Amino acid sequence: MTTGGVAPIIELSGLTVRYGPRTALDDVTLSLPGGAVGLLGPNGAGKSTLIKTLLGLLDAAAGRGSVLGVPLGGDVAALRRRIGYMPEREAVFPGLTGFQATLYAGRLSGMPDADARRRAHEVLLFAGLEEARYRDVGTYSTGMKQRVKLAQALVHDPDLVFLDEPTNGLDPKGRVEMLELIRFIAHEKGIHVLLSSHLLRDVEEVCDRVVVVQGGKVVRHEEIRALAQSHGDAALVRIAGEPAAFRAACEARGLSVLEEKDRDLQVKLTGDGETRPLFEAAVASGVVLRSVRPVRVTLEEALMDVLGAQH
Amino acid sequence: MVIHDRSYSRWKGDRTAPVKGAAVVFEGGVKRGTAIVFRRKIPAIGLILAAFGPFVFFLGLIYFSAYAMAHADQFPRGVVESLKDSELLQVITPSPGWAYTYMFLSQWVFVMVACVLIGSGLIAEDRRANALEMYLSRPITVRQYLLGKLGTIAFFVALVTVIPTAVMILAQLSVSWSVEGETLRLAGLLGRTLVAGAVWVAMPALTILTASSLADRARNAAILWIGVIVMLEFVVSNILREVFNVDAFWLLQIGFNIRQVMNLVLGNDVDLVTTVPVWQSGLVLALWVFVCLRVLRARVKPVEVVA
């Protein structure tokens, strides 16, 4: 199967992963065309489990799939030579400097020693660790540890890189810099990126597509722009009268109230952005509309809406 | 002016280097182990002198006595005669008992030191630093990882036991090349030494690696390992033997079982007064190996599942 004429880099069909009696991924079917893809969802949604299954670290209880054309459970070693992985947790090779750790990661990925050495210097430079590369990783700050993890994920120049919460623990400046690096490799160097995050803004800044996971299921998969647009616009309405009655009248007309604060309500409009139902709701509920201001639905609100709809 | 490219460049090289998998883990482990030993230089040098000093001394004696015999005219007559009559030649002439003494009796302390200093952190420190996920998300299987780690500690244990003993036999072989029958005897001894040495190296290496997999800190793994060894070797076995007066309790001692098997392989008389047959010791060691491998497979996983 292809997506838009391009062979998918990840294709899953009915993938189910269980931790004992608990189902972590439930019948996931997905086809990702490549580029920069965000994996969004609340903590415990199954994002990390999905990545670990794609890496072959976890076995699927049911279903099948492929990554870069290699079937899950197939030649895992060959696949991992083409994949980079930046784990969510703080993970380092103990007792090594940044350079040694990155070199070691390259060697473990099958690179010859001389090439791994040169690449280790290059990627550490790229990750902004040129000054600190000969320091023990144990002495690094959180931001530096994130950078060295990125360098280790990239040292063997993978075709696809899994980044699990790459901005965890970073200060605002570090976060911006990390996202800049990721955006660069994804958009300028043609490396496919699967970015897992619970932070919507990270995904929004880097990715073209988004996969929303909740409760072990894929609840949405589309282009980021389409996700926001599909949720239409909203209006900030100030009323005089009883908010509960107005809310009920809105909901009766297919409008959902996103937020309510005193007599200010944020109401999501229908797909075409039509405001007429608002006025009808006001008449029906006997309230007066003091003001109606258009509000663009942010991706965050769209996501909350998607996640909320699953409960 | 741009003096260097800080950007990311694609790499088109080959990711199938000849040295890979377990060999890379082994190489990394040996480098790290060496760094641990040399973290404090003066104690490290003292340790090395104590571990290898006797070997170097006896190696020198082997060559000196061979040279003195071959060039008797260059030495005062009394020196050569006293050399022939002394017990020195017996001490430095390799025999099964000699190999046992050099590999086991004189070196067990250094085996303990190597296990505690280097072996205890091999898996424990990886667990603590979440490095298992880093290893196993690369083209490395659990088996390759364990093989690399086992190879690391086995290398250091062999370095203070089998390797110097084998070098001394080879040295003797090189100076007795022309002596009829001696070459064959020494070659046979070398083979038996290597087999017996493999048993001696494998057991401490495997048990400390297992202890390391059961802890998240090197220190805890070392305490666990020493605790089990001391309890089995010096406390439980002796108490039970005294109370019940049954020789079978010797089997609780790993060291006893290793000695029995080593002596059998080397062709020595078993040095302990016991009625326990060697096959039982072999069986117990095989059981230890089985249990250790099962524990290692259970403890070394890329993903920890918390119920």
Max mean pLDDT range (A135-144, A161-170, B57-66, B283-292): B283-292
Lowest mean pLDDT: which of B46-60, B105-119, B267-281, B284-298?
B267-281
Q: Is the ipTM of this complex over 0.90?
A: no
* Residue A158 CB neighbour total at 10 angstroms: 22
Does A46 lie at the interface with B, CB-CB under 8 angstroms? Answer: no
pLDDT above 70 covers what percent of chain A? 91
Determine the pLDDT at residue B95. 83
Identify the DSSP state of A270: P
A123 contacts B8? CB cut-off 8 A: yes
A77 contacts B141? CB cut-off 8 A: yes
Does B140 lie at the interface with A, CB-CB under 8 angstroms? Answer: yes
Does A90 lie at the interface with B, CB-CB under 8 angstroms? Answer: yes
Does B139 lie at the interface with A, CB-CB under 8 angstroms? Answer: yes
User: What does the alpha-carbon distance between residue B52 and residue A90 come to, in Å, rounded to a whole number?
Assistant: 40
User: What does the alpha-carbon distance between residue A15 and residue A60 come to, in Å, rounded to a whole number?
Assistant: 7
pLDDT above 70 covers what percent of chain B? 94
Does A180 lie at the interface with B, CB-CB under 8 angstroms? Answer: no
> Could you tell me which chain A residue has the CA closest to the CA of B130?
A91
Does B3 lie at the interface with A, CB-CB under 8 angstroms? Answer: no
Q: What interhelical angle do B142-160 and B278-299 show, nearest 10?
A: 130
Does A105 lie at the interface with B, CB-CB under 8 angstroms? Answer: yes
Determine the pLDDT at residue B149. 97
Residue from A22, A90, A107 whose CB has the most chain B CBs within 10 Å, to mutate: A107
Q: Is pLDDT above 80 for B89?
A: no
A87 contacts B130? CB cut-off 8 A: yes
Chain A neighbors of B6, CB-CB under 8 A: 125-126
Inter-chain CB pairs, A–B, below 8 Å: 120
Q: Which segments within A149-242 are labelled E, that is strand? A: 160-164, 192-197, 209-214, 217-223, 233-240
pLDDT band at A2 (very low <50, low <70, confident <90, very high): very low
CA A95-A99-A103 angle, to 5 degrees, is 95
CA distance A139 to chain B (A): 13
A93 contacts B307? CB cut-off 8 A: no
Does A80 lie at the interface with B, CB-CB under 8 angstroms? Answer: yes
Residue from A17, A51, A104 whose CB has the most chain B CBs within 10 Å, to mutate: A104
pLDDT band at A96 (very low <50, low <70, confident <90, very high): very high
**How confident is the prediction for chain B on average, in pLDDT?**
87
Does A253 lie at the interface with B, CB-CB under 8 angstroms? Answer: no
Q: Is pLDDT above 60 for B181?
A: yes
- Indicate whether this model's pTM tops 0.90: no
Does A157 lie at the interface with B, CB-CB under 8 angstroms? Answer: yes
Helices (H) and strands (E) in chain A, counts: 11, 14
Residues B129-147: tens digit of each pLDDT: 999 999 999 999 999 999 9
Chain A neighbors of B305, CB-CB under 8 A: 19-20
Residues A220-268: tens digit of each pLDDT: 888 887 776 665 677 889 999 889 999 999 988 888 888 888 888 988 8
Alpha helices in B101-181 (DSSP H): 108-114, 121-128, 131-136, 142-160, 162-175
Determine the pLDDT at residue B104. 82
- The amino acid occupying position B191 is G
CA distance A195 to chain B (A): 16
Per-residue pLDDT averaged across B17-39, rounded? Answer: 90
- The amino acid occupying position A56 is G
Does B2 lie at the interface with A, CB-CB under 8 angstroms? Answer: no
Residue pair B206/B150 in contact by the 8 Å Cβ criterion? yes
Chain A neighbors of B24, CB-CB under 8 A: 104, 107-108
Chain B neighbors of A156, CB-CB under 8 A: 11, 15
Q: Is pLDDT above 60 for B298?
A: yes
Per-residue pLDDT averaged across A125-150, rounded? Answer: 92
Q: Is pLDDT above 60 for B42?
A: yes
Determine the pLDDT at residue A1. 43
Beta bridge partners of A62: A16
The set of residues, in sequence order, having a beta carbon less than 8 Å from that of A84 and lying 6+ positions away, is A152, A153, A154, A155, A156, A158, A160, A161, A162
Lowest mean pLDDT: which of A281-285, A302-306, B94-98?
A302-306
pLDDT above 90 covers what percent of chain A? 56
A80 contacts B134? CB cut-off 8 A: no
CA B50-B194-B297 angle, to 5 degrees, is 90
**How confident is the prediction for chain A on average, in pLDDT?**
88
Closest CA to A12 of A79, A48, A62: A62
Determine the pLDDT at residue B2. 42
User: How far does CA A129 lie from the centroid of its chain?
Assistant: 25
pLDDT band at B101 (very low <50, low <70, confident <90, very high): confident
B133 contacts A91? CB cut-off 8 A: yes
User: What does the alpha-carbon distance between residue B186 and residue B284 come to, in Å, rounded to a whole number?
Assistant: 30
Residue from B10, B11, B128 whose CB has the most chain A CBs within 10 Å, to mutate: B11
Residues A19-62: tens digit of each pLDDT: 888 899 999 999 998 899 999 888 888 999 999 999 999 999 99
Residues B244-253: tens digit of each pLDDT: 988 889 899 9
Determine the pLDDT at residue B220. 97
- The amino acid occupying position B51 is A
Tell me the DSSP string of A217-267: EEEEEEEHHHHHHHT-EEEEEEEES-HHHHHHHHHHTT-EEEEEETTEEEE
- The amino acid occupying position A139 is T
Closest CA to A161 of A206, A122, A191, A121: A191
Residues of chain B numbered 36-55 and touching chain A (CB < 8 Å): 36
Closest CA to A249 of A197, A292, A287, A199: A287
Long-range contacts of A184-187 (CB under 8 A, 24+ apart): A184/B7, A184/B8, A185/A154, A185/A161, A185/B8, A186/A35, A186/A36, A187/A36
Chain B neighbors of A76, CB-CB under 8 A: 139
User: What does the alpha-carbon distance between residue B197 and residue A33 come to, in Å, rounded to a whole number?
Assistant: 56
A20 contacts B303? CB cut-off 8 A: no
Does A154 lie at the interface with B, CB-CB under 8 angstroms? Answer: yes
Closest CA to A235 of A303, A296, A301: A296
CA distance A166 to chain B (A): 15
